[in-house]
Structure 1
Amino acid sequence: MALPLAALRVLLGGFFALTGAAKLSEQLSPPTSERMKALFVQFAEVFPLKVFCYQPDPESYQVAVGWLELLAGLLLVLGPPVLQDISNLLLTLLMMGALFTLVSLKESLNTCIPAIVCLGLLLLLDICQALVQTKQVVRATRKTPGIF
C-alpha cells in the first residue's frame, strides 16, 4: 500500500510543480504563457471573493497560483509527512477553487475534467493516507500489553 501511495504522491506533486512553473515562467512555452495570461483575466472576473469587493490583478493572481502550485507540489513529493498533508490540503482547496471558477465561467465538462481528476486523486491520496495512519495506530494499540 505504501508504494502506490508514494507513486501517486510523486505523480501529483510533479504535475503541480510543473504546472506551477509553467504559470511562473514565460520561457518554458511562450504560446502557453500568453494563453494563460488571457485565461487569468477571465478567472479574475469570477474570483470567489469578488462578492466581498475584492478582485485580484490577473497577473498577480497567476503568479500567486503558480507559486502555490510549485511549492505545494514540491512539498508533496519531498516534504515530511506533516508538510505533505498541508500541501495536499492546499492543492485540494486550489482545485475546488478551479472548479468553482470553471463552473462560474460556464465552461464545458471537457474543460473541467482535468480539475475534477486532480481533485479526485488528491482526495484519494488524503483518504488512503488517513486509512494507513489509522491502521498503524490500531496496530500500535494492540501490541501494548494490558494492565491485567
Structure 2
Amino acid sequence: MALLFSALRVLLGLFFAASGAVKLTDRLSGDVHRQLKSQFVEFADVFPTKEFGYKPDPKRYLEIVGWIEVVAGLLLAFGPQILQEISNFVLTVVMIGAIYTLLVLKEPIAMCAPATVCLGLLLLLNVRGRGRGAKSKSE
C-alpha cells in the first residue's frame, strides 16, 4: 500500500509541475498557454483581496501560480518528507483557491472537476501521511 501512495505522490507532483510549466511558457502548448492567459484575466477580477482594494495583475498572477505549482509539484514528488508535507499544504490552498474562483465565476461544475479531484488526492496523501506518523509514534 505504501508503494501505491508513493506512486500517487510522484505522479501528482509531476502533474502539478507540468501544469505549472504550461502556465509559465508557451513552448509546451501554445494554445493552452494562451487560453490560460485569458482565463487569468477573469480570475484576477474575482481574486479574494479585490474587496480590500487589491487586484493582482493577471500576467503576474499566472506566473506566480505557475511557479508555485512547478516548485511545490517537484517537492511533492521528490522532496524530503517535511517538504512534501509543506508542498501538499501549499498545493491544497492553490486548489481551494481554484475551486473558489471557478464557483464565483459561476463556471459549470465540470470545470471544477480537475481541481476537485486534485484536491481530493492531496487530502488523501495528507491523511495517509498523518496516519503513518501516528502509527509510527505508537509502535
TM-score range, shorter chain: over 0.9
Cα distance per residue 1:113-139 (max 9 Å; x no partner): 001100000001000110011111111
Which structure 1 residue ranges, 5 or more long, are not aligned? 140-148
The correspondence of residues 137-148 of structure 1 with structure 2, limited to 5 A, is 137-139=137-139
Shift of 1:76: 0.3
Aligned to 1:78: 78
Cross-structure match for 1:44: 44
Residue identity over aligned pairs, in percent, reads 53
CA deviation profile, 1:37-62 (whole Å, cap 9, x unmatched)? 10000000000111111100000000
Q: Secondary structure at the match of 1:16?
A: helix
Q: Which amino acid aligns with 2:80?
A: P
The alignment's C-alpha RMSD in Å is 0.6
Q: Residue 59 of structure 2 aligns with which residue?
A: 59
Aligned counterpart, 1:104: 104
Measured in 2, the distance between the counterparts of 1:6 and 1:49 equals: 36
Structure 2 residue ranges without an equivalent (≥5):
none
User: Residue by residue, what CA displacement relative to the aligned partner does 1:18-74 show, whole Å, maximum 9, x if unpaired?
Assistant: 000000011111111111110000000000111111100000000000000000000
Q: Count the aligned residue pairs.
A: 139
Give 1:88-127 correspondences, 5 Å limit: 88-127=88-127
Provide the C-alpha distance between the structure 2 equivalents of 1:15 and 1:25, rounded to a whole number of angstroms.
16
The 5 Å alignment of 1:9-28 reads 9-28=9-28
Query: Residue 24 of structure 2 aligns to which amino acid in structure 1?
Result: L
* 1:78-137, Cα deviation, whole Å (9 max, x unpaired): 110000000000000000000000000000111000011000000010001100111111
Counterpart AA for 2:26: E
Q: Distance in 2 between matches of 1:63 and 1:131?
A: 35
Letter of the 1:38 partner, please give it. S
Asked which structure has the greater CA Rg, the reply is 1
Q: Which amino acid aligns with 2:121?
A: L
- Tell me the TM-score normalised to structure 1 length: 0.92
Q: In the alignment, is the contact (CA less than 8 A) between 1:5 and 1:129 conserved in 2?
A: no
Contact 1:77 1:84 in 2 (8 A): yes
**Helix, strand or coil for the counterpart of 1:27?**
coil
Structure-2 residue corresponding to 1:142: none
The separation in 2 between residues aligned to 1:81 and 1:128, in whole angstroms, is: 13
TM-score w.r.t. structure 2 length? Answer: 0.98
Task: Please identify runs of 4+ aligned residues in structure 1 that moved more than 6 A.
Answer: none
